[in-house]
């Protein structure tokens, strides 16, 4: 039996502290991504060849805009979590690792903000 740290016992996590939580977040975002990506693919197929005006008009539907926003947020968060694991596992120089982790987070935030802004702009005309 593996021994947990006192903090791990209180939080219900393993001895690596945030490792279990990180793993759990990856799985939750992966599962949540299944219906969201199905929606996205369906949306793209239905609107294949549509004009920009048609796309903007479809984004006025709150259901579509909310699902698109959730899709972007979920996919970006899942991407960030996955890249974090790759960086932590395969980059062994501390300075490089921390710089890449910071860049990963910065990139994810920029992508999420840009995607959500585009959806808001199309849906409510910000």
- Domain boundaries in the chain? 35-124
Residues 65 and 124: their CA atoms lie apart, in Å, by 9
Task: Give 52 or 126, the one with higher predicted confidence.
Answer: 52
Instruction: Quick: pLDDT tens for 102-122.
Output: 999 999 999 999 999 999 999
Contact by Cβ (8 Å): 82, 27: no
Q: What confidence score (pLDDT) does residue 79 get?
A: 97
What CATH code is assigned to 35-124? 1.20.1300
pTM for the whole structure: 0.80
Whether the per-residue pLDDT at 15 is higher than 60: the answer is no
Instruction: Quick: pLDDT tens for 73-101.
Output: 999 999 999 999 999 999 999 999 999 99
Q: Which residue has the tokens 């219906």?
A: 35
Helices (H), 1-126: 6-11, 19-46, 52-59, 62-90, 94-124
For 41, other C-beta atoms within 10 Å of its C-beta total 10
């Amino acid at each position: 039996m593996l021994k947990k740290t006192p903090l791990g016992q209180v939080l219900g996590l393993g001895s690596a502290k945030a490792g279990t939580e990180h793993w759990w977040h990856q799985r939750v975002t992966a599962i949540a991504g299944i219906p969201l990506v199905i929606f996205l693919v369906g949306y793209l197929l239905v609107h294949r060849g549509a004009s920009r005006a048609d796309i903007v008009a479809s984004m006025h539907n709150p259901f579509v805009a909310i699902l698109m926003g959730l899709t972007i947020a979920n996919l970006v968060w899942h991407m960030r979590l996955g890249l974090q694991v790759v960086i932590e596992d395969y980059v062994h120089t501390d300075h490089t690792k921390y710089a890449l982790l910071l860049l990963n987070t910065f990139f994810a935030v920029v992508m999420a903000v840009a995607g959500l802004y585009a959806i808001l702009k199309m849906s409510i005309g910000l």
